Amino acid sequence: MGMQAVTQAQVKKITGSDILEEQDMLATEEPLEIRLSYYTQAGYTAKSISVTMRTPGNDLELAKGFLYTEGIISSREDVTETRHASDTNGNVVYVTLAQGVMPDIVRLERNFYTTSSCGVCGKASIEAVRTACNILDTKDHIEIPHSTIYTLPATLRAQQSVFEHTGGLHGCAIFDTTGNLVMTREDVGRHNALDKLIGAAIDNGLLPLNDHILLLSGRASFELVQKAAMAGIKVIAAVGAPSSLAVQLADEWGMTLVGFLRGERFNIYTGAQRIVI
């Protein structure tokens, strides 16, 4: 598509009273529009449903992950085609739904305009999203040694290729319950990184992710917990802090939420029964 995840910029680096001019690497941020094509009695119709600021790359996964975590699709069979528009420099993705899959257009128009910083707006409470979330049975027998949790951030950092150059991207990864990395994605928007990851899981037939651990490179927000719940994830570990609503949501849906994972320490906010000390 001719777009790169990293952009060069000329900068002045100041150290004490010294000035050095050199090239710096920035995480690329570009708009991505998602256009939905769906079947009506008059035939297929196309509608723009979302514009998000993202780092180019894995755009088709991002579109599918977004549609899944927002309850528009429930399986990869709901999508018949996902492609970049040919005349938009890679900034528009078309997603064609299977016949019989009908989106709630009124809800789409009200809720689905996003930015890289805030994610989907208009979801002020748990009640507002409960009806959209296909939360799976929370009964399980997952047990994860606390020593396994310690190893996750270093593994993610080693895989964050663009972050290594720019320091400007959020990363997330899924691991199996023994700490083996399954896949990772990164983006300037933390919600985009997770949508890309879930989109990749859809493509690889991995959903539901109820026997995996999700690692977030930053904080655990309400929206990220909601997206994880939609994918069936039971265990979330975040390097940063969780929000109060994220903790409330994880507790209500029987999820394990770990925060402030740094070195050999972390806090367990909900679901402590799954972490073996």
| 144-276 placed in CATH 3.40.140.10 | yes
Pick the CATH number of 30-122 from 3.40.50.300, 3.40.50.620, 3.40.50.720, 3.10.20.10: 3.10.20.10
Q: Which amino acid is at 51?
A: V
Where do you find CATH 3.40.140.10 in the chain?
A: 144-276
Predicted confidence at residue 157, as pLDDT, reads 87
Predicted confidence at residue 241, as pLDDT, reads 97
Cα-based distances in Å from 70 to 100, 133, 185: 18, 8, 19
Contact 186, 205 (CB under 8 A): no
CB-based burial label for 222 (10 Å; 0-12, 13-18, 19+): buried
Question: Which parts of the chain register pLDDT below 70?
Answer: 1-3, 88, 106-139, 161-168
Active site residue 118: yes
Q: pLDDT by residue (tens digit) across 192-203?
A: 999 999 999 999
Predicted confidence at residue 113, as pLDDT, reads 46
Predicted confidence at residue 115, as pLDDT, reads 45
Q: pLDDT by residue (tens digit) across 124-137?
A: 445 545 554 555 55
Where do you find CATH 3.10.20.10 in the chain?
A: 30-122
Residue 32 known to bind ligand: no
Predicted confidence at residue 165, as pLDDT, reads 54
Residue 197 known to bind ligand: no
Residue 110 known to bind ligand: no
Interatomic CA distance for residues 164 and 156, integer angstroms: 11
Predicted confidence at residue 65, as pLDDT, reads 96
Contact 220, 241 (CB under 8 A): yes
Predicted confidence at residue 267, as pLDDT, reads 98
pTM of the predicted model, to two decimals? Answer: 0.87
Residue 260 known to bind ligand: yes
Q: Which of 118, 121, 133, 172 is catalytic?
A: 118
Interatomic CA distance for residues 264 and 244, integer angstroms: 24
Predicted confidence at residue 141, as pLDDT, reads 83
